[in-house]
């Protein structure tokens, strides 16, 4: 079959969504199908993507302009390779409005709830409306059960629903990783004699970086040998959230123990995980089954997360999204590091591997194409 995909992001491959698409392309082509990703221009072209030029600056003034622009271009020009495809996969409901005029079979893929569920802004309402519009109209693959619960489908979180059709036309396929890549390796030389807590996150409020700093401040005196590395994109030095994080670090006198590091390529992450004693994923909202959490556990590193959104589906050690609850969870994980890490690693590598993921996806593609 010819399978087209729509996404605001793909190349360059930096974050979780881009890694997901890269892996999806691999299993599609290995199964003998063809695939082409239609995306907004992000500065990298290849033989598996088609870049749609962006109009700069307007996204600052028009709600969800980039998404609206992508769907408008698709509607207006109707690319033959896209409209002649046997199947279209839309990454997020917000890019899928253009499918309304397409007779081709389609699957909506959710990487997690992409809108705030409280204190909503215009772009939150826009995304939520699109999700509701798409829910009954198209088959869905979701990478966390919270997405479906929020939209009114009764499904419990957790591993018992992995890789199943949890509701007619709605499949729960959690994020999975290459366990051959994400395995324990040698520590980075600079961390040979250090104890590091790793927070591999983009530096935005939804990811809860401030929560991790506040929690570390609570336990810092108990574990004086530990430091915390905030590894991820900072989105500009003048970003108010970065200023907030800097102020928190100074407030708690942690300047020598909490520090930022720039993001690295995905294939370099096993070395970072393996250099840590503990990985913390302190998400507040808008996340599916976190790739960072799964990668860390697969590398045999004890992993603590909050219990919100898609994280509730994972075998991490979980806590409420408060600084005190996170501090208590971090302390427990440090004190019970070996036992927790071993249990998490076994579950992750047995269940959340690319073999299971590929098998589930190919079954969905076959099911939808036969309808």
**Mean of all residue pLDDT scores within the chain:** 94
Residues 5-26 pLDDT 10s = 999 989 988 778 898 999 999 9
Sign, Cα dihedral of 39, 294, 239, 127: positive
CA atoms within 13 A on the CB side of 39: 23
Task: Give yes or no for residue 89 having a pLDDT over 70.
Answer: yes
Residues 251-304 pLDDT 10s = 999 999 999 999 998 899 999 999 999 999 999 999 999 999 999 999 999 999
Distance between start and end Cα atoms, the chain? 14
CATH of 189-351, one of 3.30.1180.20, 3.30.70.100, 3.40.50.2000, 3.40.50.150: 3.40.50.2000
C-beta separation of 164 from 146 below 8 A: no
Strands (E), 126-269: 140-142, 164-167, 170-172, 195-200, 226-231, 258-261
Rounded CA separation 358/28 (Å): 9
DSSP, res 184: -
Task: Give yes or no for residue 237 having a pLDDT over 80.
Answer: no
C-beta separation of 264 from 272 below 8 A: yes
CA 62 to chain centre: 25
Residues of the chain with CATH 3.40.50.2000: 2-175+353-370, 189-351
- Per-residue pLDDT, 368: 96
Task: Identify which has the larger pLDDT, 42 or 59.
Answer: 42
Q: Considering only the top CATH level, what class is 2-175+353-370?
A: alpha beta
Rounded CA separation 114/286 (Å): 5
């Amino acid at each position: 079959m010819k399978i087209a995909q729509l996404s605001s992001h793909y190349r360059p491959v930096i974050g979780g969504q881009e890694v997901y698409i890269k892996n999806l392309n691999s299993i599609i082509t290995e199964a003998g199908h063809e695939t082409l990703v239609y995306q907004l221009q992000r500065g990298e072209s290849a033989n598996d993507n088609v870049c749609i030029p962006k109009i700069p600056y307007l996204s600052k003034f028009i709600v969800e302009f980039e998404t609206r622009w992508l769907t408008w271009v698709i509607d207006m020009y109707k690319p033959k390779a896209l409209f002649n495809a046997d199947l279209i996969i839309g990454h997020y409901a917000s890019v899928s409005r253009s499918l309304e005029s397409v007779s081709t079979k389609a699957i909506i893929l959710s990487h997690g709830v992409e809108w705030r569920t409280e204190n909503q802004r215009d772009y939150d309402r826009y995304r939520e409306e699109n999700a509701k519009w798409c829910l009954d109209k198209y088959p869905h693959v979701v990478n966390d059960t919270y997405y479906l619960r929020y939209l009114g489908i009764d499904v419990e979180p957790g591993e018992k629903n992995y890789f199943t059709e949890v509701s007619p036309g709605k499949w729960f396929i959690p994020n999975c990783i290459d366990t051959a890549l994400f395995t324990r390796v040698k520590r980075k030389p600079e961390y040979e004699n250090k104890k590091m807590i790793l927070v591999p996150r983009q530096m935005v409020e939804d990811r809860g970086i401030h929560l991790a700093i506040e929690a570390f401040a609570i336990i810092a005196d108990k574990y004086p040998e530990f430091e915390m590395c905030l590894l991820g994109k900072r989105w500009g030095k003048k970003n108010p959230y970065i200023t907030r994080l800097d102020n928190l670090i100074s407030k708690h006198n942690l300047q020598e123990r909490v520090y930022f590091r720039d993001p690295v390529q995905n294939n370099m992450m096993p070395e970072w995980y393996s250099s840590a004693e503990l990985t913390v994923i302190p998400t507040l909202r808008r996340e599916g089954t976190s790739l960072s959490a799964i990668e860390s556990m697969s590398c045999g590193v004890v992993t603590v997360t909050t219990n919100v959104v898609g994280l509730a589906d994972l075998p991490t050690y979980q806590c409420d999204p408060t600084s005190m609850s996170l501090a208590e969870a971090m302390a427990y994980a440090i004190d019970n590091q070996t036992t927790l890490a071993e249990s998490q690693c076994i579950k992750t590598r047995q269940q959340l591997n690319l073999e299971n993921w590929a098998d589930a996806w190919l079954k969905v593609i076959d099911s939808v194409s036969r309808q």
